[in-house]
Structures are given as C-alpha cells and as structure tokens.
A = this chain, B = another copy of it.
Amino acid sequence: MHHAADRLLNACDQRGAPVCVGLDPVLEKIPAAVREGYTGPVDALEVFCYGVLDAVKDVVPAVKPQIACFERYGAAGYAAYERVVAAAAQAGLCVIADAKRGDIGTSSAHYAAGLIAGGDTWRGGDFLTVNSYLGTDGIEPFFNAAQAEGAGLFALVRTSNPGGDALQGLRLEDGRTVAEAVADQVAALGEGGLGERGYSLLGAVVGATKPADAAALRRRMPRQIFLVPGYGAQGGGADDVRACFNPDGAGALITASRSVIYAPVRGCGAWADAVRVAAQTLRDEIAAILA
C-alpha cells in the first residue's frame, strides 16, 4: 500500500488500537544487564532497542525512534539508528522517525533525501517529524519526497512541553493562536496528499498535555493524523487524548515512551516482559477510550 496514512491506519486497526511506542534509549536508564554486557554505549543502546522491538512487535502498530538519543553519539550512533529502523521495519512495525528537522527549502530537500528516501544500504522511516517554524516552503520539500516515496510526515503544531505555550499559545491579532495559524497552514498543504481513508500524508504533532487546544486543533485539521506524545511519563492521561480523535474514533496515534520502555520490572521477571505488558496496557487503555 503506497499511502503512508492508509498503511498506518490499517496497522492500527489490525493491532486493535492507534498507539506507538517511543524508542528513546538512554544509557543510564536501560536495564543494567544490557548496559553492563557491552563496552560501547552505542552497542548497549542498540541491543536494548532490539529487545524492545521484539517485545512490542505483536502488540503495537508503530514505533517512534528519537534520533537525538542516537545522534548524541555522532556517526556511530547514527549508524545504530539506521540499523534499528531497518530492524523495526523488518519486524513489520511502522517507523516514525522523530527527527524534527526543518530548514529552508534546499536544505530540507537534503534532509528529506536521507531521512525519508534513505540510501543504498539503509532506508528512511515511514513517517518523519518536521519543524514548522520556517513556513510551508520549508516543509514542501519533505512533503514532495514523502509523496514520492509513499511516506508521511508529522509537522510540529502544538508540543507537549510546558514552554511550548510561550510561543505556540500566543494570540494573533486575528484571534487565532500561533499553533492554530500553523495548523491552518498544515491543513492547507496536506490537502494535496489524501489517502483512501481520507487522511493526509501530512499529519500534525499535538501534545497530549493540552486537551483544550487539541479539540480546537482537531476542528482545524480534520484530515491530519495527530501524533500525540506526552501520554504517560509527560503527564497526559487517557482523558486528555480523547480530544485528539475525530468523532469517528480515528485520526490520532497515541505515543508513550518512557512509561513503556522503562516499565518497572516486578520481582525477578525479565525486563522485556515488563515492556511487553506496558505496551499491552497502553494499547488496552487507548482501545477502551475508543470503544
């Protein structure tokens, strides 16, 4: 199936809930057994990611690797990122590359060539997160590359961090907030890339910690799949995410990272089992909201 939104939505149906596990591997947080089994930090993080992928692949439709966690180790980390993306795709998971790239057109085109199209020995993600601050001509090269490759995008509209308010929540003289103005631009640009299920290949990042904003943004972007971070560790609850869905119960992908991949191990259980159970809990909680 060539349209990324269709692919993602179908995968969500198949797994029973529109949820995504964030891969934010951090050396100090991964199980000691994994950390101590490898001399290089990148090796340990990579093996940890494979363990998480194996634990969640039959439970959730998508994973979201946070490229910053890899890039902090430079080229070696970047190489590990490429292998983790390949492994996730091999496991049948939809991959959302959380890179938040954005630049003027020519440079955006370079990012898109790498992070969406990939190369001879590696592939880009199914989706890529992009930054909206440079305007639509900074997003268009990503959009064109995504369309050509059957991939998709999530543009930052309303982020889950407290400081996002100070800019995204500012009121314009026309009554919209900055985030709403960005939403209108994303909705307009996304019209050119609708799939069979009615959603655009250009989605939007809308944090789970701002339910009132999410409802207003939902109305402005009916054709955008919302990538919703902040569920779990960042404080967003089940009630907060309801507003991110369309009335038909579709149109959002709820992401949890730390609460799943660093799920506390009970007794002498295996860490991967704890991850799997946390992913199942995430899936079941979101499925219950939508039932």
**Do residues A73 and B119 form an inter-chain contact, with CB atoms below 8 A?**
yes
Q: How far is the CA of A118 from the CA of B170 in the complex (A)?
A: 35
Contacts of A164 in B (CB 8 A): 134-135, 137-138
**How many copies are assembled?**
2
**Do residues B74 and A119 form an inter-chain contact, with CB atoms below 8 A?**
yes
Contact of A110 among B72, B122, B168 (CB under 8 A): B72
Contacts of A133 in B (CB 8 A): 131-133, 156, 159, 167-168
Name which of A98, A133, A163 has the most chain B CB atoms within 10 A of its CB: A133
Contacts of A181 in B (CB 8 A): 167, 170
Query: Does A191 interact with chain B (Cβ within 8 Å)?
Result: no
Q: Does more than half of chain A's interface fall in helix, strand or loop, or is it mixed? A: helix
**Do residues B110 and A68 form an inter-chain contact, with CB atoms below 8 A?**
yes
Q: How far is the CA of A110 from the CA of B115 in the complex (A)?
A: 19
Query: Does A239 interact with chain B (Cβ within 8 Å)?
Result: no
Q: Which 9 A-B pairs have the closest CB atoms?
A: A137-B163, A135-B163, A75-B79, A68-B110, A72-B114, A133-B133, A104-B161, A68-B107, A75-B78
